[in-house]
Structure 1
Amino acid sequence: MKSYRKELWFEVPSRRAFINITPDVEACLAESGIKEGLLLCNAMHITASVFINDDEQGLHHDFEVWLEGLAPEKPYSRYRHNGYEDNADAHLKRTIMGREVVVAVTGGRLDLGPWEQIFYGEFDGKRRKRVLVKIIGE
């Protein structure tokens, strides 16, 4: 069995963003040479997320509105976590959107559904953060 590991780095200039990282992950898979196996992709920071969904701007807007309704950024005083930092909402948003995805690799390709794409969700941007891609298989 082969194993492959790579870190992808992102620095989002805004506080929040959704970035389609499917092409980056596909490039990792091609580089790995693995044809059959499993791919794990996870955010290595507790205020960022990796998730699978549709790449549709209306949906991304709906995520933003929904998440802000559940865990509004302000007022910062709303959260006990906010002392040194003002990112308690980002921790909560990450918990809702998830830490990682696991995707089957079949025939050297990501075995995704017809509209599925892999996204990096940033909830406390303006600094460098990384995503781990780990692939195991043959």
Structure 2
Amino acid sequence: MKSYRKELWFEVPARRAFVNITEEVEACLHESGIREGLCLVNAMHITASVFINDDEAGLHSDYDEWLERLAPHAPVSQYRHNVGEDNADAHMKRQIMGREVVVAVTQGRLDFGTWERIFYGEFDGRRKKRALVKIIGE
């Protein structure tokens, strides 16, 4: 069995954003040479997320609005975590959107369903963060 590891780095200029990272993950798969196995992608920061869904602007806008209703950023005083900080809402948004995804690798390709793409979700941006790509298989 082979194993491959790579870190993808992001510095999102906005506080929140959804970044399609499918091509970067596909490039990792190609670089790994693995044809059959599993590909894990996980956010390596507690205020960021990795998830799979459709790359459609309306859906992303809906996500942003929905997450803001569930865990509003302001007023920051509503959160105990925000003593000296302002990102408690980002931790909650990450919890909802998830930490990682696992995608099957079949015949050297990510084995997606229709319209599925991998996204990095940023909820407290404006600084460097990373996601881990770990691929195992043959």
Give the TM-score normalised by the residue count of structure 2.
1.00
1:83 deviation in Å?
Answer: 1.1
Q: Where do 1:60-71 residues align within 5 Å?
A: 60-71=60-71
Q: Where do 1:7-26 residues align within 5 Å?
A: 7-26=7-26
- Cα deviation, 1:38-95, whole Å, max 9, x if unaligned, reads 0000000000000000000000000000000000000000000001210000000000
- In structure 2, the partner of 1:42 is 42
1:21 deviation in Å?
Answer: 0.2
* 2:104 is the alignment partner of 1:109: no
- In structure 1, the partner of 2:54 is 54
Q: Where do 1:63-102 residues align within 5 Å?
A: 63-102=63-102
CA-based RMSD of the aligned residues comes to 0.3
Inter-partner Cα distance in structure 2 for 1:26 and 1:47: 24
Inter-partner Cα distance in structure 1 for 2:78 and 2:115: 37
% identity of equivalent residues: 79
Inter-partner Cα distance in structure 1 for 2:127 and 2:31: 27
Inter-partner Cα distance in structure 1 for 2:114 and 2:20: 15
Indicate the SS of the match to 2:65: helix
Inter-partner Cα distance in structure 2 for 1:129 and 1:63: 21
List alignment gaps of at least 5 residues for structure 1.
none
- Cα deviation, 1:4-56, whole Å, max 9, x if unaligned, reads 00000000000000000000000000000000000000000000000000000
1:114 deviation in Å?
Answer: 1.3
1:118 deviation in Å?
Answer: 0.1
* 2:133 is the alignment partner of 1:133: yes
Give the TM-score normalised by the residue count of structure 1.
1.00
Inter-partner Cα distance in structure 2 for 1:84 and 1:6: 33
List alignment gaps of at least 5 residues for structure 2.
none
